[in-house]
Amino acid sequence: MFFVPMRHKDAGLSHNPLKAIVSPRPIGWIASKGADGSFNLAPYSFFNAISEDPAMVMFSVQSDSEAHIKDSLRNVEETGEFVVNIVSQGQFEAMNISSGTYAYGENEFSLAGLDMVPSQTVAVPRAGGVPAALECTHFQTISLPRNASGGGYILVIGTVTGIYVDDGVVEDGMIKYDKFIPISRLGYRDYGRSTDIFQATRPGQN
C-alpha cells in the first residue's frame, strides 16, 4: 500500500500508523520549572538524543493552535532549563499519571508520588528513582509548519550540562540494560521493553 500522510484511511488503515512505523521511540520524561517557581513533569516520545559531543537532545511539543502552549514548553521558555528523566519499568505508572492534562502549576511529581531530587547543574529537579537523567539548558526552539487546522509541533533543543546515572544500573563501567530495562513508546496504545539485546560490529571494527 501507499498513501500520503494523514490519508491512511484511503489505504484501509483505521488509525494513523506514523508512530507505529517510527518505533520504538524513547520517552523523554521532561521536568521543568516555571518563572513562578512551579514544577512540571510530562512525557514526550517525540524525543531523542541528537548529538553526542556536545551532548544535545530534543523533544517536540504538540499544540492545537498558535495560542496553545503546553506547560513544559512554557517553562523551558521561561526559565531556560529542563531535565530529561529516563523511564524504566518501575516508573511506568508514574509516567502515565504525569501525562494527564492538569492545570498550569499543578505539580505532577506530587500527583505521581515522586520525590523531586535536586540536580547539580540546573535548578530543575529530577524524579526520584529514575535510572538516569539528563540536565539540560535550552538551546533553541523551532516552530514546525502548522497543519490545515492550525495545529503543529514546536521543537525544543537542549544542551546537556550534567548526566545522572544510578550506580545500581552500572556494571564493569557500562550501563546494563537488564538492570534498567528502558521503556519505549510504539504506536497506538503500545509500549515496548528493551529486553532482547544483541551485539554487532561495524565493518572494519574489531
Using CB under 6 A as the criterion, which residues of the chain lie in contact with ligand FMN when the complex forms?
A: 27, 40, 42-46, 60-62, 70-72, 96, 99, 101, 185
Q: How far is the CB of 176 from ligand FMN (least distance, A)?
A: 24
Q: Which residues pair with 33 in a beta bridge?
A: 39
Amino acid at 64: D
Q: How far is the CB of 76 from ligand FMN (least distance, A)?
A: 9
Q: How far is the CB of 36 from ligand FMN (least distance, A)?
A: 14
126, 81 Cβ separation under 8 angstroms: no
Going by the DSSP 8-state scheme, the letter that residue 32 receives in this structure is: E
- Cell numbers given for 112: 505521581
CA 50 to chain centroid, in Å, comes to 13
* Smaller CB separation from ligand FMN, 105 or 168: 105
Residue with grid cell 510504539, as numbered in its chain: 186
* Smaller CB separation from ligand FMN, 44 or 180: 44
- Cell numbers given for 153: 509541533
Q: How far is the CB of 178 from ligand FMN (least distance, A)?
A: 22
Regarding beta strands 126-127 and 116-117, do their DSSP bridges make them parallel or antiparallel, or are they unpaired?
Answer: antiparallel
* Smaller CB separation from ligand FMN, 93 or 178: 93
User: How many other C-beta atoms can be found within 10 angstroms of the C-beta atom of residue 64?
Assistant: 12
Measure the CA–CA gap between 127 and 29, rounded to whole angstroms. Answer: 9
* Smaller CB separation from ligand FMN, 48 or 120: 48
Q: How far is the CB of 202 from ligand FMN (least distance, A)?
A: 30
* Smaller CB separation from ligand FMN, 151 or 168: 151
